[in-house]
Structure 1
Amino acid sequence: MTALARPTHGRVIGGVCAALARRFGTSATTMRVIFLLSCLLPGPQFLVYIALWILLPSEDNPRTAW
């Protein structure tokens, strides 16, 4: 199981979708499409994205991941 960290390469905005794609074994494009489609549904998608952007460590600035 890999640690969840935002990659330094392949980011579009914050690297959250790329990190989730790596974790779940799919492409970053697929994860971005899933995120965009989920935005059509009611819910806190943008808040979750921002929270993950803040909470997930970057690969170039490692800190303890939980």
Structure 2
Amino acid sequence: MDGEKIVLQKYKAAQECVVTGEVAPENFSLLDGKLVLSLEGAERLMKELEDSLSVKYPFLNEK
């Protein structure tokens, strides 16, 4: 309750991966708990970041 109001919010499980929705004790928490990822979620996020950044910043692909 919030004063005189009843506020409904969608239930979000603790340790729920923001990418896959997987809930598991082995998920890891980053950014002071603001980002929770499973291993699969982390891999998918990294691939997405690499793909997106390589298009926007092609010089990042130079090694």
Answer whether TM exceeds 0.5 for this pair.
Answer: no
Q: TM-score, normalised by structure 1?
A: 0.28
Superposition TM-score, scaled by structure 2 size: 0.29
Greater share of strand: 2
